[in-house]
Structure 1
């Protein structure tokens, strides 16, 4: 599929940059069209240890005192604090050394440092249910978002979807995208190789998938989506040394989303027949990271 202009001939208020595959995301089993769930395999601690040992060389920790604060350390209202602020008891708190943090399936997203983008300073903040559900639910009830995410309704609908991920084994992490201190997008970073999506394409160990939506209409249709997708895929490749590819599967009908992924350095790999949609399989490879 040739690249297209993400800002051309699209009503930004009616069509969001969003990428989401309902059946391959953690959600209520009864809501899926074929009961195919992200969290259909429970991995014990022992199995996780064996899996990581078999597929991942232990990397030296590279994070420092500038780590992004945990979701629970952020305020419940107003602007989000700078991602370089220390988490915990206050401004003088000492971040937990990486050597004391247990390995997880997505390499501690809460510690990923902020990045500079053409749109501003950006970082991912793992979702806190009590703080973030009203905002995310409002976005899910935007008709343009609801068309692809299918999570319109009262806040409990969104809360159930998010809680399924938070209560799982860590293979999918829901996050707010915070731009210049303002939460303005929703992201799900997930292990595509451990997801039902892997049944529909030739997955490789540690493939990492992303779903997203841009929350407000003013941030749509002006190149923000492509800039942030590139930033998040760079964050994945920069922090997950074992990951060679970032993947996404937007609905083929969502041409602004596909255009944004192409702008962000992804290539169109194939069309995929997923249980609830026909998707465009988009891939960004580490080997081509600086070429595209």
Structure 2
């Protein structure tokens, strides 16, 4: 069986046929004509489906909080798509069986299909990017929660007792790349690094004390976010996804920080962490995960 996986991003939509073994073929990528036109997004998805007539089912990965079969409570950077029933819109135009899910959940399922989470019943994926998202599988099944918000790890409060409420001290604003690492460095220095986290890491390695402090804050926040999730869910495995995982020393630095936190805080000293690994699927995670979701739910 071939299933069409579609991955909707902020500016592009990617699609490909996915085999039962997770192999991708006949990939296509389209730039969204304008992110402010909901019809452009919907019509682009419909056009992509028409390009793959042999697909038996269609899975769509979409940013934001998705409720039910495909109601977009939020939609990431696609502001014009907020509060739209995407499933209802698309099923008027597409006759093939259709399934829609959140992009981080798609990445989570991709790891179950062809990554390190194969044959793992309980695991968490943290997706690090503009903010912090994620997904969780419990007893072998993707768990989205009552309102589709399960796995939104970035909403964790990192400092609820701060003296002012002017800043959002959530994990997304502390342990992510754009809203966390980059924003905190730019606020501290007044320097624009053009959303390039590599510049911050390199400045820290070159002896920039401000950059070093920001990098330390990033790892500490992420470590606490992971520990919070571990204590709530008790997973067998934790996976980390996102562009920062391309940094060769990222996992070593994160594990070192986790060791420090667990050694410093008495409550963690008898806790055994599950294995923490980098997600195997990269740019194709949304496509493969969307196809896997369609395969298992339709």
Tell me if TM exceeds 0.5.
no
| Bigger radius of gyration | 2
Taking structure 2 as the reference length, the TM-score comes to 0.29
Taking structure 1 as the reference length, the TM-score comes to 0.30
**Structure that is richer in helix per residue:** 2
